[in-house]
Amino acid sequence: MADRAKDIPVAKEGIPFIVIGGLLTLGAWMIGGVWATWFFGFLTLFTTWFFRNPAREIPPGEHVIVSPGDGTVVAVESEFEHRYLKEQSIRISIFLNVFNVHINRMPIGGSVENMVYQPGKFMMADHPEASCGNEQNALMLCRSDGVKVLCVQIAGLVARRIVSWVVPGEQVEKGERFGLIRFGSRMDVYLPQSSRIHVKVGSKVEGGSSILAEVPCVEIS
């Protein structure tokens, strides 16, 4: 899959909001509404900044697992992932607030084995129950050596739309942009128990460039 969003400064999903904000700002200015012009101008600038799409330097190495999003690590826990992987895994949860970049990136390179959307609630994304109860989109990723990683986009309290640009069967690269979640959200990554974790609760991470963990490559005979 080609990185569909790499050459644009803002995510395409943000363009309608930016255009509307710009038109409202222009309209307020034309009728002489000073405070309205400042308000809509600020709103337009904030929306543009929210949907920003910065370039990132992707760490080399197939064994390296990178963060799927910007934010703060709120959980690093060992648990049985019963819905998709059906095995004991390490879950790393990343909370994205409204000030973080909301473009999501692939934690590993390989193939998209499956993608499952689940409707649900809109609890605060940093709440522990959000992993199972909130609206979400789960991507099952498989590395060329058979290592599997589950990456889950989770809506938050004010997030109302999860966007994914991939479909099952696509080949993807590590650090490649694959979607976004609007206005506050969370990313969960489920890794094999053999992973060597590089982050802890409270760690600040950047999508595509921060290393979450390392999973040794498996020799395929």
pLDDT band at 133 (very low <50, low <70, confident <90, very high): low
CB 117 within 8 A of CB 166: no
Q: What is the DSSP string of 93-145?
A: EEEE-TTS--EEE-SS-EEEEEEEEE--B---TTSTTHHHHB-EEEEEEE-TT
Q: What is the pLDDT of residues 80-109, one digit of tens each?
A: 988 888 899 999 999 988 888 888 999 999
Q: Are strands 162-164 and 177-181 parallel, antiparallel or unpaired?
A: antiparallel
Residues with catalytic annotation?
A: 185
pLDDT above 70 (res 128): no
DSSP 57: P
Q: Which residue has the higher pLDDT, 88 or 185?
A: 88
pLDDT-derived band at 183 (thresholds 50, 70, 90) equals low
pLDDT band of 120, cuts 50, 70, 90: low
pLDDT tens, residue by residue, 43-86: 899 888 888 888 889 999 889 999 999 999 999 999 998 888 88
Closest by CA position to 152, among listed 144, 141, 142, 143: 141
> In the CATH hierarchy, which fold is given to the domain comprising 64-214?
Glucose Permease (Domain IIA) (2.70.70)
